[in-house]
Amino acid sequence: MSGETSSYAEMARTISPVRTLRKYLNIFRVSLIERMTYRGDFLIGTILRFFPVITTVLLWKAVFAGNEHRSIAGFNEQRMIAYLLLIHISRMFSSMPGLSGAIARDIRDGNLKKYLLQPLDMIGYLLSYRAAHKVAYITTSAGPYAALFLFCSGYFVGLWPDAATLAAYLASLILAFLIGFFFETCMGMAGFWILEVSSLLWVVNTVNYFVSGQMFPLDLLGHPWDVLLKWLPFQYMAYFPAVVFLREIEGPKLVEGLLMELAWAVVLIAFSRMLFARGLRRYSAYGG
């Protein structure tokens, strides 16, 4: 009996950071395998995903064909189309389909227990899970996207950034992933207070599509809308990384932008933690 107790004590002592890391790495691995199971469906989806790219490029070409100055809000045709292609890269990192819905569903159905009963942090689990899906998504769509960018390489002539810009771009994308993830997590946490969040999500996603600059660069909106929207976190999920790549933002402005992005990420992380902690106090684990 005493021997057993001491082995438990020993186990508790060996829960080191390495073990914690290994735990989350395993979640990552399993999620990656899961994701690769449905390749057929995935492939068709990837091919269809090019249709909007093609139509948007053609639409903007038609707009520029009729524009006498050949420049719209400081974007010429080449930069505009490059921007719209780069938006896809931003969204590859920042979009989190189904995340908020899944969190809200777990809260509503009482399934949240499964996280609470295990020595596992729910947000940490979901972050590993999403990171794996993102890696799977990015690696499987790397081929098609490489083909697309090669095909459209004409739009990138002379736009390829130097190493420093590229590093800033990568940083902005990773932060975009974090902002996307924690923004969606916060939305999901709303499920603690309202039973049905799906309708809220539709509204937010619809607005987000516009205010994050997925339709066109925010600069097109003109004063004061562009300034206002650049203060909000949404732009980091699409607009900001793209203009970093295009060197629309450089020097001190770039540093300032990245710091703002970091600040928003920290705010959203803290906010999601706070909502989670407050929510748990209200949570009553319905269901069996």
**List of residues contacting other proteins (CB under 8 A):** 38, 40-41, 44-45, 48-49, 51-52, 54-55, 58-59, 61-67, 72, 196, 198-200, 202-203, 206-207, 209-210, 215-216, 220-221
Between 167 and 225, CB nearer to other proteins: 225
Between 138 and 207, CB nearer to other proteins: 207
Between 23 and 105, CB nearer to other proteins: 105
Between 13 and 223, CB nearer to other proteins: 223
Q: Least Å distance between CB 92 and other proteins?
A: 15
CA distance linking residue 257 with residue 261, whole number of Å? 6
233 neighbors 264 (Cβ within 8 angstroms) = yes
Q: Least Å distance between CB 63 and other proteins?
A: 5
Strand pairing partners for 76? 71
- Coil, strand, or helix at residue 94? helix
229 neighbors 81 (Cβ within 8 angstroms) = no
- DSSP annotation of 238 reads T
Between 115 and 210, CB nearer to other proteins: 210
Give the Cβ contact number of residue 196 at 10 Å: 10
Write down the H helix ranges in 190-249: 198-211, 225-231, 239-245
Q: Least Å distance between CB 220 and other proteins?
A: 6
Between 63 and 274, CB nearer to other proteins: 63
Q: Least Å distance between CB 161 and other proteins?
A: 27
CA distance linking residue 60 with residue 69, whole number of Å? 14
User: What is the 3 state secondary structure string of 9-78?
Assistant: HHHHHHCCHHHHHHHHHHHHHHHHHHHHHHHHHHHHHHHHCHHHHHHHHHHHHHHHHHCCCCEECCEEHH
Q: Least Å distance between CB 37 and other proteins?
A: 8
Q: Least Å distance between CB 159 and other proteins?
A: 21
CA 190 to chain centre: 19
Between 21 and 193, CB nearer to other proteins: 193
Strand pairing partners for 72? 75
Burial zone of 110 (CB within 10 Å; 0-12 exposed, 13-18 middle, 19+ buried) = middle
Between 12 and 203, CB nearer to other proteins: 203
Q: Least Å distance between CB 250 and other proteins?
A: 25
Q: Least Å distance between CB 231 and other proteins?
A: 20
